[in-house]
Amino acid sequence: MGRQVSRREFVKAGAAVSVAATAAPAVAAESPTVLVRKATPPVVIASANGHVFRNGGPRTCVEEAFARITAGEDVLDALIAGVNIVELDPTEMGVGYGGRPNADGVVQLDSCCMHGPRKRAGGVAALEGVRTPSLVAKAVMENTDHHLLVGGGAQAFARQMGFEIEDDLNTDSSRAEWLEWKRRIDPGHWLDPEKRSRAGAAAREAMVAEGRLDPESRLGTINCDGVGPGGEICGVTTTSGLAFKIPGRVGDSPILGAGLWLDGDVGVAGSTGRGEANLFNLCSYLIVEQMRQGRGPRDAALEALRRVKEDTVEQRLLTPGGEPAFGLTFYVIARSGEYAGVTMWGKENGREKQFAVCTENGPELLACESLLGDFPTA
């Protein structure tokens, strides 16, 4: 049987243990875990026209935006400065000044933007007379309690904000293309809706086949998204819309959840291509929600394209093989900086579908991942 310990000895022993524990190295004791969010590698991603047009300057859209972000500028301000280059370039005929007019020969522009850290958004649709609708969309975000202004109201707001309003945003080139299209469909005689729609679409496709209309820009649009070094997520989409569209037609570009959507804790997605197909599924919202559930940018975008494919059932919108007969592309960045460009068809009209990206390694055009391979040529 062991020796009994007196109360005095017990107290002394306890004090010694306490001192020893206090002097022990920190690793021996449990300490609360502190989660430190790592810095995000800055990245800017855009549709391919984001690394093609310079409007006579030294940088493309993604180069300009990335340079501004890394210099400490607000991410949304940097992205809009990038797309302004494209909007103002008269040789880019799917966006801004010199964009393709509607069926009446009037250039109507759409745009929206989102600011992740501030949880704010703004947009304009069917805006006439302002070369940079992305800046008007930002003004809506900053100066109103609304997300979307349209038509004459959007133009009146732009005028009140000090934007120059021009009578006509056509260039000689955009007007010449519209006149050729107009000549082909003979709009002086009203057809029944089905025949008129078919006539307009057939004229567009014939002009593409003859090289009179660039297939890449007949749907217009640039989407540009970015993540800053602190994980700040922003995005902007801007377009002149479908070439020779019905006046007042608004596609997906200025609509939150379709042409653009983001969550500051998850990521951002934007689009170009057939707006009506995107609107039916609110695909940009869907992609961000897929990423919230753990999917990467590539897989999230492919899931959205599968949904579009399943919901495309009208014969006029299908290839002979039963696949969607149109293009739709998504540009996606996760908050981690992981990104992807994902498209319905990897090659259309003999051209590989690409997207633009700029990182610390510089700007480049990369091939998009496709859901369906190359568009059938016969």
- Residues marked active site are found at 221
Residues 332/287, Cβ–Cβ less than 8 Å: yes
Instruction: Please report where in the chains the tokens 């607000």 appear, as a residue.
Output: 74
Nearest CA among 66, 68, 133, 139 for reference residue 95: 133
Give 72's Cβ-side CA count (13 Å radius): 0
Beta bridge partners of 121: 114
> Can you tell me the distance from the alpha carbon of 337 to that of 334, in angstroms, rounded to the nearest whole number?
5
| Residue 197 in tokens | 């729609």
Nearest CA among 61, 60, 32 for reference residue 237: 61
| Residue 134 in tokens | 């992305």
In order of 16, 25, 300, the CA distances from 29 in angstroms are: 17, 8, 43
Residues 69/226, Cβ–Cβ less than 8 Å: yes
- Burial track 227-255 (b if 16+ CB lie within 10 A, e otherwise): bbeebbbbbbbbbbbbbbbeeebbbbbbb
In order of 128, 146, 147, 150, 358, the CA distances from 153 in angstroms are: 10, 12, 13, 6, 36
Beta bridge partners of 268: 262, 333
